[in-house]
């Protein structure tokens, strides 16, 4: 395993690509765009929502996303920031993300873990993801 706490130039392009996936997640959430979000997933992906709902396969993820994302009710901004990347293999990365919902009245935070896989064409896709809410102390 390669721990990216010490930057490796061998992985620089892959880190940039992983960061772009997370930036696209942010953009799709800010714009409530299910198609942009769903394009980031491997067809056999597994997604667990912050409330523990397990979605297996792109069809299940799409059905859920198309129902909840356009109807999402938040006033403010959502941000996603890559906090840590661990390359388990050159084509598999565990990506810890800091997710924040900011509104004039409140702020909430999530700590998703995205396992991404690099495809033969070089794209990184979301493959196994756990979206975990952070409980304020």
Per residue in 39-50, pLDDT tens?
Answer: 999 999 999 998
Residue 134 pLDDT class (50, 70, 90 cuts): confident
pLDDT tens-digit profile of 61-120? 999 999 998 887 767 788 999 999 999 999 999 999 999 988 777 788 999 999 999 999
Residues 21/45, Cβ–Cβ less than 8 Å: no
pLDDT at 5 over 60: no
Which pLDDT belongs to residue 9?
Answer: 66
- 57: which 2 tokens? 């396969």
Which pLDDT belongs to residue 136?
Answer: 74
Which pLDDT belongs to residue 8?
Answer: 60
Residues 109/121, Cβ–Cβ less than 8 Å: no
Q: Radius of gyration of the chain from Cα atoms? A: 15
Q: What is the mean pLDDT of residues 29-42?
A: 96
pLDDT at 2 over 50: no
pLDDT tens-digit profile of 119-129? 999 999 999 99
Calculate the dihedral angle through the C-alpha atoms of 61, 65, 67, 72, rounding to the nearest 10 degrees.
150
Residue 23 pLDDT class (50, 70, 90 cuts): very high
């Amino acid at each position: 395993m390669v721990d990216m706490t010490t930057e490796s130039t061998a992985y620089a392009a892959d880190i940039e690509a992983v960061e772009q996936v997370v930036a696209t997640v942010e953009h799709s959430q800010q714009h409530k765009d299910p198609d942009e979000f769903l394009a980031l997933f491997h067809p056999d992906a597994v997604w667990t929502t912050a409330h523990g709902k397990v979605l297996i396969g792109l069809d299940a993820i799409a059905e859920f996303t198309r129902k909840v994302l356009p109807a999402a009710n938040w006033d403010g901004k959502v941000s996603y920031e890559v906090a840590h990347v661990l390359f388990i293999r050159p084509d598999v990365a565990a990506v810890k993300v800091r997710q924040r919902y900011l509104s004039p009245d409140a702020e909430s935070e999530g700590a998703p873990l995205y396992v991404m896989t690099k495809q033969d064409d070089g794209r990184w896709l979301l493959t196994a993801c756990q979206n975990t809410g952070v409980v304020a102390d």
